[in-house]
Amino acid sequence: MDLDRSGPVPLYFQLASRLETAILEGELPPGSRIENELALSGRLGLSRPTVRRAIQELVDKGLIVRRRGIGTQVVQGRSTRKMGLTGLYDDLSQDDKHPSTKPLLHEVVPAGEKTSAQLGIPVGEPVLHLRRLRFSDGAPVALMENFLPPEFATITAEQLVQHGLYQLMRSQGATMKVARQTIGARHPSPEERRLLQISRPDPVLTMDRVAYDHSGRAIDLGHHAYRPDLYNIEVTVVDR
């Protein structure tokens, strides 16, 4: 790389900028692996702290990720979800992120007290319980759990591989009109860490949602965990 070693621009910034340009212009396409810090510092004649800081700049921008056992790899940047009554599958499709889904759980179970209270149904009433791992361009981005009223029990695991949940619900006549949701962050569970390929210090971004139809009836209870290096949520605030 052509780095200016005598100018005022820090070397880490120059290196990060060169790599960012290569990623955005397609010279380093998604899935490409970047040399480790030791190899890069030796090849470019830079200190390891300089290379480490440059790599971290790109990680913070969501352009590359570090994966245990794989190394440092290029991604297509974070998906930004604007708050609305859409599903993650639809959002990723609109961003050309090529979503895919791995069903982990598909069962009809009696509603517990917490689920019944949030869905407004009697305790013990059957609900469809789903858990899926959602991928964006082949990288795991979200672990999703949903509870649905019994009329949606005909939705199959095979359908969830090909379509988003809200697509399937709408095809059965559901109309999502309003939702109450809470956004937060926490330490991932061991299962979340394994499935989402999260390094040990990283948190997960969480969203809990109850969606209601046009009559005010709750039709979806969701608990989702996202990788913050690949996903963020955009909220518009209006002064009333």
What is d(CA 92, CA 139) in angstroms, rounded to the nearest whole number? 12
Name the strand (E) or helix (H) holding 42: helix 37-44
Render pLDDT for 32-90 as a digit per residue (tens, 0 to 9).
Answer: 888 888 888 988 999 999 999 998 888 877 788 877 767 888 875 555 555 555 566 56
Which of 104-108, 133-137, 152-156 has the least mean pLDDT?
133-137
Residues near 78 by beta carbon (within 8 Å), at least 6 away in sequence: 61, 62, 229, 230, 231, 232
Dihedral sign for Cα 86, 87, 93, 96, please. Answer: positive
What would the mean pLDDT of 85-108 be, rounded to a whole number?
A: 75
Which two structure tokens, joined as six digits, stand for 103? Answer: 């069903």
Question: Is 29's pLDDT higher than 90?
Answer: no
pLDDT value for 145: 97
Query: Average pLDDT of the chain?
Result: 84
Question: Is 111's pLDDT higher than 90?
Answer: yes
Dihedral sign for Cα 203, 200, 99, 73, please. Answer: positive
DSSP character for 118? H
Dihedral class, residue 206 (left if φ above 0, else alpha if ψ from -120 to 50, else beta): beta
